[in-house]
Amino acid sequence: MSSIPRRDFLKAGTGLALAGALPWNSAAAPTAAKPNILLIICDQLSWNAVSAHGCKWVQTPNIDRLIRGGVSFVESHSTNPVCSPARSSIITGRMPVETGVISNSRPIHTSVPNIGQWLTPKGYDAMYCGKWHLPGGRPHTMDGFRVIPAGGGQGDLMDNSVARLSANAIANHKGERPFLLISSLLQPHDICYWAIQNRDLVPPKMPFDELGPPLPDLPPNNKVRPPAPAKLAQCRGPAFSDDQWRYYRYIYFRQVEMLDHDVGRILDAVEQTGKAEDTLVVFTSDHGEGGGRHSHVQKWYPYEEGVKVPLVVRCPGRARENVLDKEHLVSGLDIVPTICDYAGVEPPPHMRGFSLRPLLEGASTEWRDFVSTEHHFIGRMVRTARYKYVRYKDDPVEQLFDMKTDPWEMNNLYQDPAHADTVRAHRERLDQWTASLIPVPPTPDASKKHRQRRKG
């Protein structure tokens, strides 16, 4: 499939040629009835931590069921490997620098509508249940949404209530207005807290010979550290032994399985109430998890473990089923245009993403040739079909990885003379993309830490 010429793509990025003006969008006539829309967002789920995506250390029958029923994108990227910025993109279709949410716990800038604000006046009943973080963990009021308050806390506490309340809301929803429900689950994010609470307590040699599910192998790049800025070292995990790393991964995969059952509760409600045929389901994660790759825990970095996330869309009778799309570069930016397309409404202005509808339905279309990720402290990344290029903030070290021959990102090619042209081309591409964005001033950080700092 040919790519959109870069110049045209960047035009789209400036808002001169919006997603709504692209050929497939104008041709995509609204369906007779607006579908219900269910967007399930989870937290810190790596693309390859799902059994249907080839992970043999985990069992995710419910997410697998969703993948079999729709299209799952292999080359799916977060806009920012941090919770709040990525979430701001998922629900606005804009890059974090344009939503004002450059780090955690900031509100979306008032000039940028979220999908609830956009669809409510167009006939949708917009509901939100679960983690918000824009700001506040679980506020009772959110612009654009009717909030279903859920429980808080770690482990089983929050997600079980989010799933059951979401399921009940789907089952009880009546009336002529279709629903837009965002179910925002917390797992497997708690691996962060597990590591904090327990890392000094797990012995270097595992005493547990009867864990049930086996201890996962180490990833091939566990001990590989390609040239990178010193600040990335802050993201590395503790000095774990091999067994400790394997146990860390074991715990992560159990949390992924916990998530899977809560996804199952929500999907069961859609299917048992006879609403599956009328409901567009989108499943994604804000960012990934280190899982011991490059000795990393958690997120923040532009390696695959931080930025590559699931993006699955199911729309029975419209989207294709059981398709693993390995070709197209997609982003959390594409979710709002896709929802708007199926809802039969124009997307908000200045969309940076595109409707996935032609890809979902198997239509012939041009597509973008790169996606981008940003992090206000780390730097910016551009990913093309073959290469990943990263420019770090305030650091001369750059990175170029050949994702075809080096999918585990072990060999940084940025100083290889044979790749000088590739580096130059990617630098230029990143500069043009960055210049095309419409940044807004960062919105105020509402976290407790910063409130205290402001008080002095």
Partner 1 sequence: MATRDATRAADHFSLRPLARALQGLPPPNQAPDPTGAWSSEFTLYSLNIRPWAQGSLKLTRSPETDGAVLTSDYVLGCGPGVSFRVKGETRCESNQLATPKMWTVTSRQHRNDGQETHEAAGDLRGTYDGQRIVLTEYGRERPVEAGPLLTWNWGLFDAVQRLAVISNPPPLEFALLDHFDQVKPEQALRLRKRCRVTLGAKLIVEEQKTELEHGTVFRPEHVERGGTEVDCVVFEHTGRGILPIVYWCTTAGYLLMVSSGLEAYVRQDGRVKP
CA distance 120 to 279: 17
Work out whether 150 is an interface residue with partner 1 (CB under 8 A): yes
In this structure, what DSSP letter does residue 81 have? S
Strand 71-73 relative to strand 279-285: parallel, antiparallel, unpaired?
unpaired
Is residue 156 a contact residue for partner 1 (CB under 8 A)?
yes
Binding positions for partner 1, 159-188, rule CB under 8 A: 160-161, 164-165, 167-169, 171-173
Q: Amino acid letter at 408?
A: W
The stretch near partner 1 (CB under 8 A) out of 35-43, 265-273, 345-353, 394-402 is 265-273
In Å, how far from its chain's centre is CA 176?
31
Q: Whole-number minimum distance, CB 265 to partner 1, in Å? A: 7
Among residues 152 and 442, whose Cβ is nearest to partner 1? 152
DSSP secondary structure code for residue 3 in this structure: B
Per-position x/- string for 436-455, each x denoting binding to partner 1 as judged by CB under 8 A, each - no binding: --------------------
β-partners of residue 71 are 313, 323
Residue ranges of alpha helices (H) inside 5-60 are: 6-14, 23-27
Q: HSE-up of 219 (CA within 13 Å, CB side)?
A: 26
- Phi and psi angles of residue 40, each rounded to the nearest 5 degrees, phi first: -100, 115
Question: Which residues on adjacent β-strands are paired with residue 402?
Answer: 387
- The window from 17-25, 195-203, 283-291, 439-447 that contacts partner 1 (CB under 8 A) reads 195-203
Q: Which of 43, 75, 98, 257 binds partner 1 (CB under 8 A)?
A: 257
Query: Binding pattern to partner 1, positions 31-60, x when CB under 8 A?
Result: ----------------------------x-
The H-or-E segment that residue 420 falls in is helix 420-436
C-alpha 175 chain-centroid distance: 32
* Contact call for residue 116 and partner 1 (CB under 8 A): no
* Helix (H/G/I), strand (E/B), else coil: 91: helix
Q: Does 333 bind partner 1 (CB under 8 A)?
A: no
Say whether residue 138 binds partner 1 (CB under 8 A): yes
151 sits near partner 1 (criterion: CB under 8 A): yes
Binding footprint of partner 1 on the chain (CB under 8 A): 59, 138-140, 148-157, 160-161, 164-165, 167-169, 171-173, 190, 193-194, 196-198, 201-203, 207-208, 210-213, 251, 254-255, 257-258, 260-261, 264-265, 268-269, 272-273
